[in-house]
Structure 1
Amino acid sequence: MSARLKSDEAQKKQADRGCFQPCSIETGMRILGGKWTGSILWHLKDGPVRFNDLSRMIGGASKKMITERLRQLEAQGLVDRKVMQTSPVSVEYSLTDFGCSALGFLEKLRQWSETLPDQFSVAD
């Protein structure tokens, strides 16, 4: 059998085993897996939060990163943004119903993370 035929067969076998669409886990990770995404959603769980308060709650993230994630979460329908006509103008963020649906998963993740041995502690 020629090398080309063997290569074609190997590619076909690989294609038969692989998935062409993202699986459910991959889809979920694409939505919630971004750095700071889970933290932002978690800090919005108790109700609307102003941007500056949120940035103080998430100590390790820059305001630029928080802004990027909030825009992404808003575009995905997880977060609502409300501009408040105060002086100076302030912005408040809250979870949508869809965003609230992720809280059960995040709570389970929090519980699981608290059971991890010290060797899994993460350094920034």
Structure 2
Amino acid sequence: MKTAIKTDTNGRKKVINACTKPCPIEDGMRLIGGKWKGSILWQLRDKPVRFNDLARMLSGASKKMVDQRLKELEKEGLVLRQVESERPLAVSYQLTPFGRSALTILEQLKGWMEQHQTASYVPS
């Protein structure tokens, strides 16, 4: 049912059908909306990428931040970590089918931003 705000005879407002738990949009934003998560998923869209190469692709993110986000994405089932060699340690990351399914949303977001960017919009 749709959420609505009703006003009673005394002028008091009451929410009808209020959300009692996070809605699917909030759940989705928790998965891909964290800082650098969308960018990491986007960089992994074509092929597996080694950690250092990925960190270079995300030039504004520290290696610690990239590592933290990759661990979160792996825990959430969006990214798969593969150890390529033990000595020296070489690790690459790739999208899982679940992670790949998020690319549609990211493509739409990218298109939306390209279409609506204005001179007054300044990213933070």
Using the alignment, how far apart are the partners of 1:49 and 1:100 within structure 2? 14
Deviates more, 1:40-49 or 1:85-94: 85-94
Task: Specify which structure has the higher proportion of helix.
Answer: 1
Q: Which runs of 5 or more structure 1 residues have no equivalent in the other structure? A: 1-9
Residues 1:65 and 2:70 are matched in the alignment:
no
What are the equivalent positions in structure 2 for 1:27-106 lying under 5 Å apart? 27-85=27-85, 87-106=87-106
Deviation, structure 1 residue 99: 0.2
Deviates more, 1:47-56 or 1:79-88: 79-88
Deviation, structure 1 residue 17: 4.7
Corresponding letter in the other structure for 1:94: Q
Deviations 1:38-93 (A, max 9, x none): 00000000010000000000011111111010000000000000011153111100
Partner of 2:123: 122
Q: TM-score, normalised by structure 1?
A: 0.84
Deviation, structure 1 residue 24: 1.3
Residues 1:20 and 2:39 are matched in the alignment:
no
Task: Specify which structure has the higher proportion of strand.
Answer: 2
Structure 1 runs of 4+ with >4 Å offset = none
Corresponding letter in the other structure for 1:63: K
Query: Between Structure 1 and Structure 2, whose CA radius of gyration is higher?
Result: 1
Secondary structure of 1:118's counterpart equals coil
Secondary structure of 1:73's counterpart equals helix
Using the alignment, how far apart are the partners of 1:68 and 1:118 within structure 2? 33
Number of equivalent positions: 112
